[in-house]
Structure 1
Amino acid sequence: MSSQVTKHAALNPKTTHFEFFGPPGALAVTLGVPFLSYALNLGCSERLAACPPPLKFIPGFLLATVEDSNWWSSLWDTKVVLVYAGWYAFCVAAWAVLPGDYVEGLPLRTGGTKKYKINAFSTFLLALGLVFGWIIRFGPESFTYIYEKFPQFITAALLNSILQAAFVYAKSFNNGELLALGGNSGNFIYDFYIGRALNPSIGSFDIKSFNELRPGLILWALIDISMVCEQAVRRGGFTRVTDSLWLVVGSQIWYVADALYNEPAIFTTMDITTDGFGFMLSVGDLLWVPFIYSLQARYLVFNQVELGPIYTAAIMGFNLLGYYIFRAANGEKNDFRNGRDKKNLHYMTTEGGRKLITSGWWGRSRHPNYLGDIIMATAWCLPTGFNTIVTYFYPIYFAVLLVHRQMRDDEQCAIKYGKDWDKYKKIVPWRIIPYVY
């Protein structure tokens, strides 16, 4: 028994380095994300006629809500909570029922690997088929429910995020649970937020990877479709939906489809290999992604913008540039790691035998895929015009997130590769944007 305890302690050392400014920062983000989710989506809504000027955004939101007791009570809707629970159950059932291959993740500290079932894209196609069939049968007005109940859906997603984070935190104390190196501090607030368990699972069902791609990401696409239906009802049909809304929705759904189709690529990301699953990832996957990333589409429902063919083509080209960089960079990395390198990329070998790419996209910067992501995020906002900064919250936040993630990755790699990482940084000095950062 004592040997098992010693082995468990060796595999799961105490966390001594805090991120997000430690427990106070974790608490601030835990409380701040729900508030900001309501603020962004309700402050930028028809309740205030249009997005208010940036400096009046938060005061305008508070004025419109805090003084109205009915608004607070309206945030809870039992039917919406049940609808959201049904949606989550559908995603779980699709994971279990739909066929899919199993792929191995990267080696764990235990020496073994985890196997993940791959059928997120099939789940996406099934969901789209059911939604499109519903709309064809009952008309666009039958699928405006998400738009009409948007704040209530935020509450439902938040509730699910809290319950899941609490469940995996409690489960992390089971014997034999592999913990995240950054989530075993012993401080409840910090560990609950950052994630204590590395790979919380129920049998072969991996909770973290499932949430990363399925319920929130697919829901983002369905929210966008609901926005198109709402505008179609107002303007007299789908043929009258504005080009700006079609451009935003088409670009975002393509992004979702691409992520789901390339599902195996996620198993080499920091979220899967390093981070624990706690409130940070649960609220990010289930609330933040679908309800914040769809802000541009929601804004265009009632602030209807006609771009015309020239501006539409220019924005589409900018978005495709970002997509090309993002996909080409990720493709190079995945092919190299899987022994399918067709470009004969240059690389350096570390003392531990790991290979670090030093040519191609990864020779231009250490995170070229982040550059593509930032370009795409900006392209999704351009169709909304420049009357408000609120619709540009996503790329601003996303750039900060990616820079922070790059810094975290650099710290991890410095520990992992030691002096070899310093050599690599001299060969590839740019972090994200070549010759800029």
Structure 2
Amino acid sequence: MSALNPRTTHYEFLGPPGAAAISLGVPFITYALYFGCSEHAGGCPPPLALAVLKDRVTAALADPAWWAALWDTEAALIYLAWYAFCVAAWALLPGDTVAGTTLRTGGKVQYKINAFSTCLLALGIACGIILRSGPAAFTFLYAKWLGLASAALLMAVAQAVYVYAASFRSGKLLALGGNSGNHIYDWYIGRELNPALGRLDIKSFNELRPGLILWVLLNLSFACEQAVRRGGALFHITDSMWLVLAFQAWYVLDGLYNEPALFTTMDITSDGFGFMLAVGDLLFVPFVYSLQGRYLVWSQVELGWVRAVGVVAVNLAGYYVFRTANKEKNDFRNGLNPKNLKFITTARGSKLLVSGWWGASRHPNYFGDLIMGLAWCLPTGFATPITYFYFAYFAVLLVHRQRRDDEACAKKYGKDWAVYTELVPYRIVPYVY
């Protein structure tokens, strides 16, 4: 195993200082977006002068009662029950078994795929509660947001500690980028490539189930809360809330339905599982990505049919680019080429597409993702830039991923990568970047 697990010699994220800063920064941003954009704080952002706001933040951080208020035992039990439900659904619901990519050991991880049916079951239960007892019965996720977020953070920390400790057992296959020997960095970036509990692959499970599905359930709870405030019937919610709920639910359901596509992504094939992925999957995705729906609970925007149609058109354009680009790639990887796309063959024998969407840019799926991300923010209007945080953050994230991928491909393909980049010069946005 020592030959298969060479020591990591190259740091990402500025090494241990960067890993430590991000480990603290991600929870900080999550809470800051709540306290800086919520009706409980007074608005988005709260109408306070900068000096007053600074004094208030300083006083809160120095107050033990403020820290204690971040914890909610009832919310923690709800979150634990939710996570247990996801595990039980994975174990009990039927699902095919799909082999992942070939590992350095020559073997393949076997993944059970039933994330889509897990989501349908969760949504069925939620909708049953709403139909039986009314929207007010499903507003508790909105009311318990802060406690649920704290419980998710605790779960992420606990998992990161466990998988890091377990990675030192003999026979473990480590991530090439997570074996530096620095405890802070390896704990953050992920030391073991595929940590598992029995047949349950922890990394792919967290990527698709607890956080993504909770994102949709949170949005549904926000819609119910708005409905209660507007008369009690779910059809009373604003058109902007309907659009956010529909766009993001469709995005999640589409990703879960195409679950096997996850197993060829960099997160699964290259990255270890550590705090970076744990906190991203369990905390950041559901509680930050749902900011638009939470904002619309109290800042209710009516778009009208003209603006609503425009926003729908933007989202559909992004989805079209995202889905057709991914289909081209997946078809090609599976030996199909229905569009007769052009490609080059590298010295390693790999084939790289240079036409279709993948000739327009190296990451056209990222381009589609960005367009959809903008469409999710547009229903909130332009009263505050905070609701556009997702779009700005996602743009930075995708550029970083693109640079990581390009660096890895340059090492993998050598001179052939230089030829490829000449043929496909644009990285994400055709004719722009």
Is the Cα contact below 8 Å between 1:42 and 1:151 reproduced in 2? Answer: no
Q: Distance in 2 between matches of 1:69 and 1:247?
A: 40
For residue 305 of structure 2, the aligned residue among 286, 306, 309 is 309
Is the Cα contact below 8 Å between 1:42 and 1:61 reproduced in 2? Answer: no
Corresponding residue of 2:155: 160
Paired amino acid for 1:80: A
Corresponding residue of 2:336: 340
The answer to whether 1:369 aligns with 2:365 is yes
Is the Cα contact below 8 Å between 2:30 and 2:284 reproduced in 1? Answer: yes
Paired amino acid for 1:317: A
Q: Distance in 2 between matches of 1:173 and 1:134?
A: 45
The answer to whether 1:253 aligns with 2:246 is no
Unpaired stretches in structure 2, ≥5 consecutive residues: none
Aligned counterparts, 1:267-286, within 5 A:
267-286=263-282
Corresponding residue of 1:417: 413
For residue 199 of structure 2, the aligned residue among 196, 204, 216 is 204
Query: Using a 3 Å threshold, how does the CA distance of structure 1 residues 213 and 70 change in structure 2: closer, same or farther?
Result: same
Query: Using a 3 Å threshold, how does the CA distance of structure 1 residues 68 and 139 change in structure 2: closer, same or farther?
Result: farther
Query: Using a 3 Å threshold, how does the CA distance of structure 1 residues 194 and 376 change in structure 2: closer, same or farther?
Result: same
Corresponding residue of 2:2: 9
Corresponding residue of 1:5: none
Residue deviations 1:394-435, cap 9 Å, x none?
110100000000000011101111111111111111100111
For residue 355 of structure 1, the aligned residue among 351, 361, 364 is 351
Aligned counterparts, 1:96-245, within 5 A:
96-236=91-231, 237-245=233-241
Residue deviations 1:207-256, cap 9 Å, x none?
00000000000000000000000001100121221111111111000001
CA shift, 1:111, in A, is 1.4
**Identity rate, percent:** 65
Residue deviations 1:283-303, cap 9 Å, x none?
000000000000000000000
CA shift, 1:114, in A, is 1.2
Q: Distance in 2 between matches of 1:225 and 1:188?
A: 40
The answer to whether 1:320 aligns with 2:313 is no
CA shift, 1:45, in A, is 0.4
Q: Distance in 1 between matches of 2:137 and 2:387?
A: 27
TM-score, normalised with respect to structure 1? 0.96
Corresponding residue of 1:266: 262
Q: Distance in 2 between matches of 1:109 and 1:40?
A: 41
Greater shift after overlay, 400-409 or 341-350?
A: 341-350
Q: Distance in 1 between matches of 2:416 and 2:58?
A: 55
Q: Distance in 1 between matches of 2:367 and 2:46?
A: 29
Is the Cα contact below 8 Å between 1:53 and 1:388 reproduced in 2? Answer: no
Query: Using a 3 Å threshold, how does the CA distance of structure 1 residues 257 and 356 change in structure 2: closer, same or farther?
Result: same
Paired amino acid for 2:243: L
Residue deviations 1:101-130, cap 9 Å, x none?
111111111112111111100000000111
Q: Secondary structure at the match of 1:104?
A: strand
CA shift, 1:48, in A, is 2.6
Is the Cα contact below 8 Å between 2:37 and 2:46 reproduced in 1? Answer: no
Is the Cα contact below 8 Å between 2:190 and 2:271 reproduced in 1? Answer: yes
Is the Cα contact below 8 Å between 1:30 and 1:280 reproduced in 2? Answer: yes
Q: How many residues align?
A: 430
TM-score, normalised with respect to structure 2? 0.97
Is the Cα contact below 8 Å between 1:147 and 1:230 reproduced in 2? Answer: yes
Greater shift after overlay, 40-49 or 395-404?
A: 40-49
Paired amino acid for 1:307: L
Q: Distance in 2 between matches of 1:274 and 1:250?
A: 32
CA shift, 1:71, in A, is 3.2
CA shift, 1:49, in A, is 2.5
RMSD over aligned Cα, in angstroms?
Answer: 1.6
Q: Distance in 2 between matches of 1:59 and 1:304?
A: 28
Q: Secondary structure at the match of 2:3?
A: helix
CA shift, 1:66, in A, is 3.5
Greater shift after overlay, 121-130 or 336-345?
A: 336-345
Q: Distance in 2 between matches of 1:253 and 1:58?
A: 35
Is the Cα contact below 8 Å between 1:39 and 1:58 reproduced in 2? Answer: no
